[in-house]
Structure 1
Amino acid sequence: MNSFKSKEIWISGFALFSLFFGAGNLILPTSLGLKAGFNWWIVLLGFALTAVFIPILSIFAHAKLQGTLFDFGKKVSPVFSTIFCLLTYTIAIAIPGPRTAAVTHEMAIQPFFDVSPLLTSSIYFGLVFVFVINRSKIIDVIGKFLTPIIVIILLIIIVLAIISSPENNLLPTIKSPFVDGILEGYQTFDAIAGVVVGAVMIVSLNLGNLHTFDEKKNVISKSGLIAGFGLLLIYGGLIFSGFLFSATFPENATRIDILTSLSLQTLGDFGRIFLSVLVALACFTTAVGVVTGTADYIKGICKNSQKAFVITTGICAIIGILVGSFQVDFIIILAVPALMFLYPITIVLIVLNVLPNKYGSKLVFRAVVFTTFLFSIPDFLGFIIDEKYLVTIKNIIPLANNNLGWVLPSLLVFVVVNFWGNNKIDLTEI
């Protein structure tokens, strides 16, 4: 591998890590470690499944497809894929994007300045707008400069937490650590982020010096591995740190309170300053990725119109300003029904697109996606209506009481349709 390609891979890998690592990635792991107690490693396994493994699979899928988000669902049907794209981008700019501004205000601005969250989100998304308009430099700037700062601060906090932890730890307070880890991984939005920022990476590489399909596939795949290793390392360190310091956190502390307390205990008086810089950078890079991905998509369906790109970026910034002025906990609660609806479909589309084509015929895509949608309805409704109306059906569906009722039916349909298609009749052209 020549030095240029090696440099391109590392810069892209760092940029991917930073585009993934945003608000939820910061505030969720430490609180999970607190609740998990001695089961922190089990929680990590579940969390890593939905917050590392699946998102990095989405990058591998992008390396294979090298198209847009539309390509992820086109085997189901063009209409379905269009609706899926619009829903994904709408949710991305309405929840995880604005949430980065809310976290930045509560953790990086509010402790030092008595300003309104609306002012913070206005300045924040004004800067996002400027960055996105200069999208050709995004991967380079984030990968070279912003990510190293983020990683260094995080590693300092984790190392100091491990070597200076108190002797007392709280007992676990969650009954199903693996499942809780999986569902909390949903809240990172990283599977959705993967399909969004992966598309950003494709466009960025197309604007650069890599021209062949294989060159881009190599850079994207290896960059995904670098980002995945970084995410796993940081998540593991933060979850473990949450466990080590579990007895020191205030009672009924919020997710933000827990992370703030950890930084103050490990970094002392400078903890709040370091954490503020970390939060601002981590959140900002993710917001840039989300808005860029959305603007790229709209630009593509508007015949490569730069005007459409700028207008979309402006609309995303306005939405970010408005929603980002709410409290973080409110935005997290708002996100749950949307996640329960879209996340399972996103996961199966990622997995099906990574698999060899012989296991992913149009019939397989249609059958598995429909099954996933059907069996995730009780999970979605469970956060909208009273659970008592769903008890009967949830008791029938395996894992439904853990909000994972779609998993086994989708896997069964995948196996059956593939066996039927391969052994009875060729249905790949249906």
Structure 2
Amino acid sequence: MTSARPALLPGLLCLLVLLPTVAPAQAPRPRARASDLGISFGGAPGALNAITDVKGVEVGHTTLHSGGDAPGAPKVRTGVTAVLPRGRDAVAQPVFAATYALNGSGEMTGTHWVKESGLLSGPVMISNTHAVGAVHEGVIAWAQKRNLTWELGLPVVAETWDGLLNDIGGFHVRPTHAMQAIDAARPGPVAEGSVGGGTGMVCHGFKGGIGTSSRRLPAEQGGYTLGVLVQCNYGSRRLLSVAGVPVGEEIPDLRSCYTGAQPPKGPFFLQMKPCSTPGVIKPTHPEGMGSIIVVVATDAPLLPHQLDRVARRVPLAIAKMGGLGEDFSGDIFLAFSTQPTEAVNGAPSAQVAMLENVRLNPLFEATVQATQEAILNAMLVSDTMTGNQDARVYGLPHDRLVKALRKAGRLPPVSKPKPVK
């Protein structure tokens, strides 16, 4: 018995090292957003410039960040994000909804019923590719505890692949993490960047993750609010464009690399170079791999077929940023309206409203504007991260982005102080 204890100790220590640390649901933003840098995509943002500007919408994150310090030790860089259209107090009350896929190399469960019924009940969950089953189970378990099994029996769970930075094959996301993300959901400011499902994501060759933005229409256009939340994990560096400026061409270096003595193993790491190698400018994996999940919320009175039209405008924003909907990219979007959908006082029919189709154009424009800004925010707020197999992905450098935009006349030049006479 005593002779076996030393052999068990290393394994026990390794297990303790790999236990994920659950970070706070709403952490302070460590880096500036697009609006902080003076970058505008048009339109008027809401008070928070977030999806939670749409009344009733709540967002929560569970962030898993852990791993050993030893070179090559598995590292956990993942999590779960929950978007609740009507908040936790009314989570089972359905909203009108629609989904659309630009390219389907990805997963969003529950979409068949959304398309069939035009309704969405429960939260929209986002995590990593290997965590879909665990998150799905977690939503059902959360609903069972509240006797909501039927209403939330077909959870909507979306994913993007975080295997470059996260030990994705370790299946670290468990059903309890999904439950924690739902319980953490709150109105107000939304944590962005390397949080929740976006913790280990890469976007246009820079550190990506969760981003959000909103637009408020003027009173003459209805005064409606539209908000967007993205999990950004798509796109090539060379095509990255911000406000029409080819930023990817202006910042061709700062490519993914590895900090350890040995290169990472796996087909996606074949071209990765040591971080100590100067001038690393070649892609470290086939460009166009990855995905983006986009959730669009609005308080405008839209029916499912109109929300389908809104969701179909999301690809316009992705294209403006340099995305192509490449063959191996999962670009899947969901749009919902928070207008009431249920009959009142047992009435046999519900009274719902529908915005005239000719009045949809401002919402289309708001969708394109807010989606672009949410994508950029996902990169701007994310900082450089070193993850599994010592792979490192750099954050988008704010100073070089601003310099590129100024060079193209998209930002005003730095004013020089007037000489003292």
TM-score (normalizing by structure 1) = 0.23
TM-score (normalizing by structure 2) = 0.24
Relative contact order (C-alpha < 8 Å, sep 6+): which is higher? 1
**Bigger proportion of residues as helix:** 1
